Amino acid sequence: MIDAMPNEDPALLEQRAREWARDNVIERLLLKQAAQADDQPVPPEVIEKAREKAGDRAEDLVLQFKIERLAVRHAGRISSPRHKDVVEYYRQHRAEMTIPEALRASHILKQVDETHPEADALAAIRAAEERLKAGEPFETLADEASDCPGSGGDLGWFPRGEMVPEFEAVVFAMQAGQVSPIFRSPFGFHIAKVLARSGERTASFEEAKPQIEAHLMREKHQKALERFCDYLRARAVVEEM
């Protein structure tokens, strides 16, 4: 991102933008050349994961792996973040570290697909609803009558965004202990029960610690990459076009 001062000359800003873009192109080229010249083998598991993740673009991920490996090799051993640095980061950013609203729910599902016609699924879920109204336990029916049996239909804890919108629209409008009427989702017909709810809250230090450590390690790797770029630029001969 290029920061502009108020009332700055547009021509100077454009020049800075061109220089910024040019520097990035040069750095990318230098890093690519260094990686291509590195003859240290890439572990087979890295190549396999790259193929699984990127398919035809696997070579780009392998190249990125070699670049990061070279940067770390140039910078020396990158140590894990110190405990006091993790604590200080948490202290400064605690207000930003929140655990989102979540709930725990179970459900009874009758699928609708090529082998389960909608009319049959609807009849089956209505039969399950009648058994619920007659007093049978939700958990028992979830194991006996659902197309998603096991654990009493318990889906565990989840925040918004993990389930399909049609399911979330129903369960997040309910209170703990409530049972929904029959509703439809892309999977079929459901009856849901909310087991517990948790509102948004600030993450404890122990909850936030893994994410903070990962963030600080990424920063260390980024600084190592920047130092490696500086090293390559210092040794390179850049010809003006």
- Averaged over successive runs of 10 residues, the pLDDT of the chain (241 residues) comes to 42 54 72 88 89 85 87 84 96 93 97 94 97 96 93 95 97 97 97 96 95 92 87 73 50
Q: If DSSP codes are grouped into helix, strand and coil, which group holds residue 178?
A: coil
Crossing angle of helices 205-235 and 10-37, rounded to 10°: 90
* The two structure tokens encoding residue 56: 């035809």
pLDDT given for residue 86 in this prediction: 96
The pLDDT score that the predictor gives to residue 4 is 37
DSSP label at residue 185: E
**Rounded to two decimals, what is the model's pTM?**
0.59
Residue type, 151: S
Contact 97, 202 (CB under 8 A): yes
Distance CA 153, CA 191 (A): 10
pLDDT score for 12: 57
For the chain, the residue count is 241
Report the distance separating Cα 32 and Cα 62, nearest Å.
11
Domains detected in the chain: 10-91+206-235 (no CATH), 98-201 (3.10.50.40)
The predicted pLDDT at position 8 comes to 46
Residue 197's φ and ψ, nearest 5 degrees, are: -135, 150
